[in-house]
A and B are shown apart, each in its own frame.
Chain A
Amino acid sequence: MISKKVANVTDALQGVQDHMTLMLGGFGLCGIPENAIAELVRIGVKGITCISNNAGVDDFGLGLLLQKHQIKKMVSSYVGENDEFERQMLSGELDVELIPQGTLAERCRAAQAGFPAIYTPAGYGTEVAEGKEVREFDGKMHVLEYAFKADFAFVKAWKGDEAGNLIFKGTARNFNPNMCGAAKITVAEVEELVPLGTLDPNQIHIPGIFVQRIFQGETYEKRIEQRTVRQRN
């Protein structure tokens, strides 16, 4: 077994520097790497580019990094629900690249899988395709989209082991598996770091080969963005 275990979040983020490109898993506030984000705020790296589906809310998730003006550019598919984000974007302080959600996922996966680029029909004929190479396959137009190049990927899983194997829970899975191995260094934080041999190899979602560092997060708030319920009769 090749151990990926690091003692804590500080060790896990060794080497993160100003102006790096970081991938962060999560959809809304679901499945975000809370501990890594808190540490990014603490070490105060600046000028970072974040590849993440969303930008958090004002006081949680990537919103915490926005508050401290640490983000130079966001690459996302949807960025609502964040006033500070809007302010920085409109003032020109923050650069924003909006791309289709499936393209975002596939550009991560392409980087993970060693494909330099992919063709997708998404965005053809729209401003998203402006300046991009297009090509017809079977009578349908497609846009060439490049694999991401990132320095670090921060992902969050439910359970993991010292070998870096990961299991995700519910819809907290989202972009996390696609970002594993898609950056130079993948840092996985887990709710529960279980003893080696505990996880059933049949049930592993991401094999440890895609993960360079793993640690158990200290706490998880797991904030709910839209609490919707139905009444009991």
Chain B
Amino acid sequence: MLDKNGIAKRIAKEVKDGYYVNLGIGIPTLVANFVREDIDVEFQSENGVLGMGPFPFEGEEDADLINAGKQTITTLPGASFFDSAMSFSMIRGQHVDLTILGAMEVAENGDIANWKIPGKMVKGMGGAMDLVASADNIIVAMMHTNKRGESKLLKKCSLPLTGVGCVKKVVTNLAVLEITDNGFKLLERAPGVSVDEIKIATEGELIIEGIIPEMLL
């Protein structure tokens, strides 16, 4: 079974040379730490920066330089700043190659819910609805089950949707799954996790074809 860093490490392998990537808050943010150093990748943050670098050294924080999580950041050579409309032009216009975000629920048809729990405080969708509605290549990073042990990979989302039929791939602490016309196709198992364990933790339609390899991290 993987921890959050493990999930990030596995997703980092999906990041290819020449990609512009948007990382959501939470596990997706960790992906930047595991991207191979011999490839060229630029990270976009929807509040208006392309070419994001690591956190600043203490004493070098700049109030005018933050990411979408409102954390202080730095920029790398070649970086650029832009306004919010242009930022979403990059996203909506499908100029960003890969979007990685977290989710509360994913359905077997690619629906995603990650912004609202009715009856609880609603903080808002931020840029998530724009991202999922537009991106061609969306990977969801999340735990396979919730704190009560219930599956987050469902036949149908129970929470209000963020987007319909948009998720392509899900990487969890247990598995890598691809969304197909017929449901979640199991591609890889996390180290030490059996196919049966994944079956039990998946409520939605799970497609198992042949021998399922263990992830290489």
Contact = CB atoms under 8 A, between A and B. Distances in A.
Contacts of B73: 228
Nearest to A105: B84
A105 B83 contact: yes
Interface in B52-79: 54-58, 60-73
B134 interface: yes
A100 B127 contact: yes
B48 A123 contact: no
A102 B91 contact: yes
Interface residues of B, number: 51
Contacts of B126: 77-78, 100-101
Interface of B is mostly: loop
Nearest to A126: B161
Contacts of A178: 83-85
Interface residues of A, number: 57
A44 B47 CA distance: 30
A113 to B, nearest CB: 9
B72 A98 contact: no
A76 B133 contact: no
A41 B47 CA distance: 27
A124 B132 CA distance: 10
Interface stretch (A2-10, A11-19, A164-172): A164-172
Nearest to B127: A101
Contact of A122 (B71, B124, B133, B160): B133
A89 B63 CA distance: 29
17 contacts: A28-B70, A76-B124, A98-B124, A100-B133, A101-B88, A102-B46, A121-B92, A123-B129, A168-B83, A171-B47, A171-B65, A171-B67, A178-B83, A225-B66, A227-B61, A230-B55, A231-B58
Across chains A and B, which 9 residue pairs bring their CB atoms closest together, nearest first? A102-B88, A102-B130, A125-B164, A170-B64, A222-B63, A105-B84, A78-B124, A80-B123, A100-B129
